[in-house]
Structure 1
Amino acid sequence: MGLIFWSHLVILSCATLTSSVQIPIQAPTTPPNSKSTMPEIWDFNATPSLNSTNHLIFDTVGSLAQHWTNTRYRNGHTVVPGTVPIGTLLYHGTDQPEVPTEPDWIATDPDHSYVFCRTSSASGNSGCWHLTLVVTRPLRVLYFDGTSAAKMQGGTMDSQDITVWGQVKPEWTWNERKRINDLCEWGRKFGLDGFMRMEMDFEIMLCNFANGVEIVSHLNLDPGKDAHPAGLDLLSLSATYVLQYRSIEAGGWHNTYPGETRVKLDLNRLISFYDTNLFPSLVFARFGQERWKHRLQGLNAVDSKTFQAKLQEVLTQSDDAGSGVDWSTLIHVVVDRYAERLEILHYLLNTTSTAEHVKRVQGHIRSMVVQHILYTYTPSPESTNYSWAVPVYEHCATTHTRYISSSPSLSARLTSSESLILHSIQEVSKEICRVVVGMWARGVELGFDTIPTSPSSSSEKLDPGTATTICQWKERTEALMAWLDWSVWVRCRPECGYEEICYLPTWPFLDGPDWPPLPGPDVDEARTQLSGEGGEEGLHVRPIPKCIRRVEPFGF
């Protein structure tokens, strides 16, 4: 599932206590032939389908324009229209003194664009050129999530390929000039001004430098210290490291929510390739694969046409269509509520060895659902499948979305994109509450709430039945966290020192700050390595967070 867990102190051995192989970290399946006395919708045994993508839609929508998650999962699955507001500054670095007269790339941060501020070999050592633009009218853009500016094979550019060419074109991975020209030509009929992508920071492929933007400054800058006359990049290795780090640092400003906010994304018109109703061919293409390997190459011709039709629909849809619900905030209300609490629960379940610890775990679980426990609830160990706890489960699962789904006037205003997001929030909330409320109900029935606090409870060892229950809870918690797969749980451990930052390797700095290699005789070989041709070892390994220096001497 892509989530790495760090156990703190594992005292219990679930495999030993249950005399079976430990359950792997994946969403559990519904027990065969299980029976329930309640409707399936609130059955504690009814787990998500193995083909469910609700958690993936939830996480991708909640991670839009955020650098950390879109670095962790390079292959984007979401296409979203957006606007760049009036007054926004955008930047372009080059070796040319002229303003571009054809489509070109601009950065949202000057630290990113300055990396491309180079001296032309034809002009000698005459500095570089850095252009600052201001947006004079809202620019209409289309955003591709993932590390969509990474010139790599393996899926990073799939959604762009399908948008403009109708199919994945791996042979054009490095043909960026064709890509930007064709995208701008395609987008003209929809009034698009550009396309937003991400590499070490965010960029926009701007189609026209004379429409919707004005020049703030066009400066002839010093390209850096210790310039060397030979070569296209005149920076010394040390100075190069400093500038490359600054571009990485700027990208890191947008690591987490709310991400890059200078482009306002319209979630009412979002398209997700995890929408199994629109793109059923991808269900088969990704079956049995972990999320890291998901890509769009398996999209068949029928679904590709469906995408083109859907894209035309959302790009011609009224800008004021939709319900007005702030979906991004709503998703993060759920994440904020449960992320740290689930992580602490996982920690407690890995340090539980006494009766007093069991009571502490039960208290923590209860605190996660206490707002949903009615005063009149009556525990009943004789009930089947915790039926007495169903009201708690239902209220917990629906508390954030009940009004949206039950209001006829609001529901009528939902776009199809909003309905997709709403369903993902409902299903993610339901699974969290199914697991957490189910553990709480089990603890109530076993009397964990009433364990007496005494000197003996702090040293009293667990009986086999209680120890088995704690092991089951640990496995269920890990399975839930792996299914959710929230990137907030992926960070450097141990924490980085003050002179360091936690860095998730991103293209093009996958192997150190000097990648990609500077243009020269080995550029073709370097591009082959970067794009993954001739094998997928090394550069296609999942990014793992690591501490890197943020003050000189820089090093990866």
Structure 2
Amino acid sequence: MCFLNFALTIALLCAVRAAQIPIQTLATGTVGVDSAWSDLSALPGANATGQLIFDTVNSLLQHWPNTRYRNGHNIIPGSVPVGTLLYHGRANNSLPTVPEWTATDPEHAYGFCGGAPGNDTNIGCWQLTFVVARPLKVLYFDGSSAANMKAGAGGTQDVQDLLVWGEVDHARWIDERGRINGLCEWGREFGIEGYVRMEMDFEIMICDFTVGVELLAADFLAAWWAHFITPPLWDPASQSADPGSTRPRPRPHPRNNSEPPAAALLRFETIRAGSWHNRYPGETRVVLDLSRLVSFYDTALVPSLIPHRAGLERWDHRAQNISAADLAAVTERLRALLASTSESSSAGSGVDWKTMYRVVVDRYAERLELLQYLLNTTTTETAAARGKTIQGQLRVMLTPYTLHAARPVVGGPAGDGWAAPVWRGCATRHTAHIHASAALSARLTASERLLLSALDETGREICRVVVRMWAAGVRAELDSVIPVAANAEDIPHVVEGWRADANALMQWLDWSVWVKCRPACGVEEMCYLPTWPYFGQWTGEREKGDDTEKAPPWKRPQPRCIRLFEPYSPL
């Protein structure tokens, strides 16, 4: 009886399937393909920035990648939701009367907590807690945009300085009061109420504490660290016009082991709070509007930076080299985008770019990392056995796009033209609906067209390399689905090509998700990336940046494990 029911079910399914009308698809399933997808050896252009835009957008508001590449290239409008708590350490309990800095985590603000010492041992300090009473309009500068790097040592504040001063003045690298006042003055026309930046943790520069935020608590906290730290953790020589502000630059990290344990604990807990936002989704208390993003990697908007990046590693990309004409174009674009953010205006196309980008990373990051591992580790397997394992991983990545007809024909044309439909299907599937819909395309803002182009470029290159590797495996008779190919190639030669292709792709993508402590940290440790202003101790190296013979740790930060409790590791 069970067998009869099963047979009837199969028969009904077959009948229904036979009666179905084929649906229309955005990407055809035919083997024929145009010339744009005919050459699997075609590399991206030398000046391409699609992968850079993709990675910076995917990294927005995440502490780890913006610590690794601290020179930001994006300005994005956003908002801070109602109910968000912000923290401000200061020397008294007065409401700030000028623009001031707030932290998104109390551990970050506590280092700025101050107050006059009493005559007894009960030394305290003031920390104010604010709550966002209505959505707060903000601008976000990516990278380590709150890190005050000396002239020539980095470009962490290039973008905001160009916006507010029209130039990067190296003499004003520590002019935080001038910077916050200038930004608040610039943004007043557009109703910008705060600026989001990142240092050890994220901060929001508030322009007016009587608008949009309410004082929730003014607490005179026990300043336990004050008993042990001499001199104070923060330099008291404030540039602030607010007598209660304790927002000067931090004192340099000591170059010896004389730091008091309390100071080490305070520094570490600030870094730990920042680490909570290391990876996706990052700092969630700020909501960005990617439909109004402005990027200095936009080669159509900022062509003058192209030659200044040529041949440089990404750590050395800076916005300060922009031409006056391009800076005027950037400012005009940003002003137009901000002017269009009224409540009655459309929020772009409605495409969830953040999720679309993340889908690509989720799909390929772990698989490419595993592929690289398989290609770069020794094994007792035969070359054929390991080759089939790798080919299986390549096929898994391409399964949703591998058409039944996509296979070489014995005696057919030479080359990998037979695999081109797989490449096109893989590269275009996520964005085909946007390109195919005239109505949706018409709603795209200039920022969204840039995001779409970056997504297309990145997907095209990922799929080109993976399909190229897979096709090579087919030719070497390593594929389990297409076991026989014409003119089988030597397996060691194929593996060598695989290794070169995989390494080149991952270097081109350069995703920070692959930057981690190896081996993984123990339960008493956390993985740490050298973070401004705690660049650690080193010897035999000068600290003048570009003219040092050997780049110091802050120049090319590399992860390492540090202890979660005392005795703390040097930062």
Aligned pairs for 1:67-146 within 5 A: 67-120=63-116, 126-146=123-143
2:99·2:206 contact (CA, 8 Å) conserved in 1?
Answer: yes
Aligned amino acid, residue 369 of structure 1: L
Greater displacement, 367-376 / 297-306: 367-376
**Structure 1 contact 148–198 (Cα < 8 Å) conserved:** yes
Query: Is the alpha carbon distance of 1:122 and 1:305 closer, same or farther for their aligned partners in structure 2, counting shifts above 3 Å?
Result: farther
Runs (4+) of structure 1 exceeding 3 A deviation are: 119-126, 228-236, 450-453, 529-537
Query: CA, structure 1 residues 307+191, in 2 after alignment: closer, same or farther (shift >3 Å)?
Result: same
The alpha-carbon distance between structure 1 residues 530 and 415, as it changes in their structure 2 partners (threshold 3 A), is farther
The residue aligned with 1:263 is 286
Query: How far apart are residue 540 of structure 1 and its match?
Result: 4.3
Residue equivalent to 2:442: 412
Alignment of 1:351-366 (within 5 A): 351=377, 353-366=382-395
2:533 equivalent in structure 1: 508
Question: CA separation of 1:250/1:220 partners in 2, compared to 1, >3 Å: closer, same or farther?
Answer: same
State the secondary structure of the residue aligned to 1:358: helix
Q: What is the Cα deviation at residue 545 of structure 1?
A: 0.2
Opposite residue 448 of structure 1, the aligned amino acid is L
Contact 2:476/2:494 (<8 A) preserved: no
- Give the secondary-structure state (helix, strand or coil) at the position aligned to 2:128: strand
CA RMSD of aligned residues (A): 2.5
Three-state SS of the structure 1 residue aligned to 2:224 is coil
Contact 1:42–1:393 (8 Å) recurs in 2 = no
SS at match of 2:426: helix
Q: Give the share of equivalent positions with the same residue, in percent.
A: 51
TM-aligned CA deviation for residue 80 of structure 1 = 0.3
Which residue is 2:429 aligned to?
A: 399
SS state at 2:267 partner: helix
Question: Closer, same or farther in 2 for the Cα pair 1:393/1:451, shift >3 Å?
Answer: closer
Describe the superposition over 1:291-311 as per-residue Cα deviations: whole angstroms up to 9, x where unpaired.
111001210111111111011
How far is 1:534 from its partner? 8.6
Query: 1:340 is matched with which residue: 344, 360, 366?
Result: 366
Matches within 5 A, 1:425-504: 425-449=455-479, 465-504=490-529
Distance, in Å, in 1 between the alignment partners of 2:543 and 2:134 is 37
Shift, 1:533, TM fit: 9.9
Would the alpha carbon gap of residues 466 and 169 (structure 1) be closer, same or farther in structure 2, given more than 3 Å must change? same
1:284 aligns with 2:313: no
Give the match for residue 370 of structure 1: 399
> What is the Cα deviation at residue 464 of structure 1?
8.7
2:569 is aligned with 1:555: yes
Structure 2 Cα separation of the partners of residues 530 and 212 of structure 1? 42
Q: CA deviation at 1:121?
A: 6.3
Deviation at 1:290, TM superposition (A): 1.1
Structure-2 change in CA distance of 1:52 and 1:215 (3 Å): same
Task: Find the counterpart in structure 1 of residue 416 from structure 2.
Answer: 386
Amino acid at match of 1:398: T
Q: Per-residue displacement from partner, 1:13-55 (whole Å, max 9, x unpaired)?
A: xxxxxxxxxxxxxxxxxxxxxxxx9513442122100100000
Q: Give 3-state SS (helix, strand or coil) of 1:97's partner.
A: coil
Q: Specify the alignment match of 2:198 in structure 1.
A: 198
CA separation in 1, counterparts of 2:375 and 2:547?
45
Contact 2:545 / 2:555 at 8 angstroms: preserved in 1?
no
Letter paired with 1:151:
N
Q: Residues of 2 paired with 1:123 and 1:155: CA distance?
A: 45
User: Is the contact made by 1:366 and 1:440 (CA closer than 8 Å) also made in structure 2?
Assistant: yes
TM-superposed CA distance for 1:210, in Å, is 1.1
Give, in angstroms, the shift of residue 337 of structure 1: 0.4
The CA distance in 1 between the partners of 2:97 and 2:544, in whole Å, is: 29
C-alpha separation in 2, matches of 1:278 and 1:315: 17
Contact 2:407–2:482 under 8 Å retained in 1: no
Report the Cα distance in structure 2 between the residues aligned to 1:232 and 1:504, rounded to whole angstroms: 25
Residue 122 (structure 1) shift: 9.4
More divergent stretch after superposition (402-411 vs 378-387): 378-387
Aligned mates of 1:199, 1:421 — CA distance in 2: 26
How far the C-alpha of 1:126 sits from its partner, in A, is 4.3
The structural deviation recorded for 1:118 is: 2.6
**Partner of 1:449: helix, strand, or coil?**
coil
Verify the 8 A CA contact 1:392 1:437 in the aligned structure 2: yes
* Aligned pairs (5 A) from 1:301-340: 301-318=324-341, 320-340=346-366
Map 1:501-540 to 2 at 5 A. Answer: 501-511=526-536, 538=552, 540=554
Change over 3 Å in CA distance of 1:363–1:531 after alignment to 2: same
Q: Counterpart amino acid of 2:447?
A: S
Q: Which residue in 1 is equivalent to 2:238?
A: none
The aligned counterpart of 1:211 is 211
Q: Is the 8 A contact 1:119 1:232 kept in 2?
A: no
* Cα displacement (A) at 1:510: 1.3
**Paired letter, 1:88:** T
Indicate the structure (1 or 2) with the bigger Cα radius of gyration: 2
Between stretches 160-169 and 268-277, larger displacement belongs to 160-169
Q: CA deviation at 1:186?
A: 1.1
Q: Which letter does structure 2 place at the counterpart of 1:52? A: A
Please list the CA deviations of residues 303-347 of structure 1 after superposition, one character each: whole Å capped at 9, or x if unmatched: 111111011011111353311111111111000100111111111
Q: Structure 2 CA distance, aligned partners of 1:294 and 1:61? A: 16
Cα offset for 1:469?
1.3
Q: CA separation in 2, counterparts of 1:140 and 1:419?
A: 24
Q: CA deviation at 1:89?
A: 0.5
- Match for 1:138: what amino acid? P
- Please name the residue that 1:65 is paired with: 61
Q: When the two structures are superposed, what TM-score results if normalisation uses the length of structure 1?
A: 0.85
Change (3 A) 1:105 1:123: farther
Answer whether contact 1:286 1:294 (CA < 8 A) is retained: yes
2: CA distance between counterparts of 1:155 and 1:65?
A: 18
CA contact (8 A) 1:119 1:233 kept: no
- Residue 60 to residue 533, structure 1, CA distance change in 2 (3 Å): closer
Shift of 1:377: 3.0
For residue 229 of structure 1, report the CA deviation from its aligned partner.
Answer: 9.1
The aligned residue for residue 10 of structure 2 is none
Q: What is the SS of the residue equivalent to 1:133?
A: strand
The one of 285, 291, 294 equivalent to 2:317 is: 294
Question: In the comparison of the two structures, how many residue pairs are matched?
Answer: 496
Separation in 2, partners of 1:301, 1:439: 45
1:49 maps to what in 2?
45
> Greater relative contact order (Cα 8 A, min sep 6): structure 1 or 2?
1
Q: Mind listing any 5+ residue stretches in structure 2 that lack a counterpart?
A: 1-32, 235-257
Residue 492 of structure 1, CA deviation: 0.4
Contact 2:62–2:281 (CA under 8 A) maintained in structure 1: yes
- Structure 1 66/42 Cα, relative in aligned 2: closer, same or farther at 3 Å? farther
Q: Which sections of structure 1, spanning at least 5 residues, go unmatched?
A: 1-36, 454-462, 513-528
1:542 aligned to which of 553, 556, 562: 556
Q: Contact 1:127 / 1:220 at 8 angstroms: preserved in 2?
A: yes
- Between 371-380 and 165-174, the greater mean CA deviation after superposition: 371-380
